[in-house]
Structure 1
């Protein structure tokens, strides 16, 4: 099965965290960093976050929101929502396979 989200490449983890954060609503970078740490326990450095934002924006999975403030908020696009749904479905399949396989290996079927 061909995956449309293969473009995420080696940045899957950070990109996925950003898309999950923005799925709740638009946020600027500082707020995303705190949100991501709160829901995932992952502390991102600003450079890591802004690199992921740039890549996601290039793919049109997120977009900057006009503002008069100094901070630049972003929001997820419909293409980004679709990429997120696909990635989460893949992670569910991986989790289910892992649970089945570890139950078999550990004898807790």
Structure 2
């Protein structure tokens, strides 16, 4: 099935985890790492996270938020929410196909 947006390109798991975390509200890096580990069981290294943040910001899917603190918070943008919705819909289709095929293979 063709994607609606060709700009999605290769969508990494880390990018997906970051967008899911920020969909709940703005967060700085350390809080994202903790949140992602809590909801997904995935432990990210800071370098991995900040590389993903840079790529997501370049695509316009997240943006930094002004802060008086030393830590730099980010928030998801409207186009980031659209990209997340599209990717989650794709993952649902993949999951449903996998469940059907596993059940078929057991018959």
SS of match in other structure, 1:38: helix
Contact 1:8–1:15 at 8 Å: present in 2 too? no
The whole-number CA distance in structure 1 between the counterparts of 2:71 and 2:91 is: 32
For the structure 1 residues 42 and 102, does the alpha-carbon distance in structure 2 shift closer, same or farther, using more than 3 Å as the test?
A: same
TM-score, structure 1 as length reference: 0.93
Structure 1: give runs of 5+ residues left out of the alignment.
none
SS of match in other structure, 2:12: helix
Mapping of 1:16-31 within 5 angstroms?
16-31=16-31
For the structure 1 residues 8 and 39, does the alpha-carbon distance in structure 2 shift closer, same or farther, using more than 3 Å as the test?
A: farther
Aligned length: 106
Mapping of 1:40-59 within 5 angstroms?
40-59=40-59
Runs (4+) of structure 1 exceeding 6 A deviation are none
Contact 1:5–1:83 at 8 Å: present in 2 too? no
Structure 2: give runs of 5+ residues left out of the alignment.
none
Cα RMSD for the two superposed structures: 1.3
The whole-number CA distance in structure 2 between the counterparts of 1:44 and 1:80 is: 20
TM-score, structure 2 as length reference: 0.94
